[in-house]
Chains A and B, each alone.
Chain A
Amino acid sequence: MSRYDQATLERHGLSPEEYGRICEMLGREPNLTELGMFSVMWSEHCSYKSSRVHLRTLPTGGPQVLQGPGENAGAIDIGDGLAAVFKIESHNHPSFIEPYQGAATGVGGIIRDIFTMGARPVALLNSLRFGPLTAPLARRIMEGVVAGIGGYGNSIGIPTVGGEIAFEPTYAGNPLVNVFCLGIARHEEIVKGIATGVGNPVYYVGAKTGRDGIHGATMASAEFDDKSAEKRPAVQVGDPFMEKLLLEACLEVMKSDALVGIQDMGAAGLTCSTSEMGSRGSAGIDIDVSRVPQRETGMTPYEIMLSESQERMLLVAKRGREAEVERIFEKWDLHAERIGEVTDDGLLRVRDHGTVVAEIPDRALTDEAPVYHRPMERPRYLDEVQTLDPSALPAGPAPGEVLLALLGSPAIASKQWVYRQYDHLVRADTLVLPGMGAGVIRVKGTSRALAMSVDGNGRYGYLDPYQGAVLAVAEAARNVACAGARPLGATNCLNFGNPERPAIMWQFARAVEGIGAACRALDVPITGGNVSLYNETDGQAIYPTPVIGVVGVLAQADRVLGRAFRAGGDAIVLLGEGRGEIGGSEYLKTVHGLVRGLPPALDLGRERALQDLLVALAADRLVQSAHDCSDGGLAVAVAECAFGTSLGAEIAVPEVALPGAAPALACAAALFGESASRVVLSVAPASVSAVLARAAAAGVPSRVIGRTGGDRLRMAVGAETILDVALAEAERVWQTALDACFARRVA
Chain B
Amino acid sequence: MRARVFVTLKPSVFDPQGKTIQDALHTLGYAGVHDVRQGKYFELDLAAGSADAARALAAEVADKLLANPVIESYRIEVE
Contacts and interface: CB of A to CB of B under 8 A. Distances in A.
Interface of A: 97-98, 101, 207, 210-212, 232, 234-239, 241-242, 295-296, 309-310, 333
B20 interface: yes
Contacts of B14: 207, 210, 212, 236-237, 239, 295, 309-310
A98 B71 contact: yes
Contacts of B71: 98, 101, 234-235, 237
22 contacts: A97-B70, A98-B68, A98-B70, A101-B71, A207-B14, A210-B13, A211-B12, A232-B70, A234-B10, A234-B12, A234-B71, A235-B70, A237-B9, A237-B16, A237-B71, A238-B16, A239-B16, A239-B19, A241-B20, A296-B11, A309-B14, A310-B14
A239 B22 CA distance: 15
A237 B16 CA distance: 8
B14 to A, nearest CB: 4
Interface in B15-73: 15-16, 19-20, 23, 68, 70-71
Nearest to A97: B70
Nearest to B70: A98
A295 B13 CA distance: 10
Contacts of A237: 9, 13-16, 71
Given A210-B13, A211-B12, A241-B16, 8 more contacts: A101-B71, A212-B13, A234-B13, A234-B71, A235-B70, A237-B14, A239-B14, A309-B14
Contact of B12 (A101, A207, A212, A333): A212
B17 to A, nearest CB: 9
Nearest to A234: B12
Contacts of A241: 16, 20
B5 to A, nearest CB: 20
Contacts of A212: 12-14
A239 B70 CA distance: 18
B32 to A, nearest CB: 18
Contacts of B12: 210-212, 234, 296
A242 B16 contact: yes
A235 B13 contact: yes
Contacts of B13: 210, 212, 234-235, 237
Nearest to B20: A241
Contacts of B70: 97-98, 232, 235
B35 to A, nearest CB: 9
Nearest to B35: A295
A211 B12 CA distance: 5
A232 to B, nearest CB: 6
Nearest to A296: B12
Nearest to A209: B14
B2 to A, nearest CB: 26
Contacts of A295: 14
Nearest to B17: A239
Contacts of B11: 296
A364 B26 CA distance: 44
B34 to A, nearest CB: 11
A238 B14 CA distance: 8
Nearest to A233: B12
A232 B9 CA distance: 15
A239 to B, nearest CB: 4
A309 B12 CA distance: 10
B67 to A, nearest CB: 13
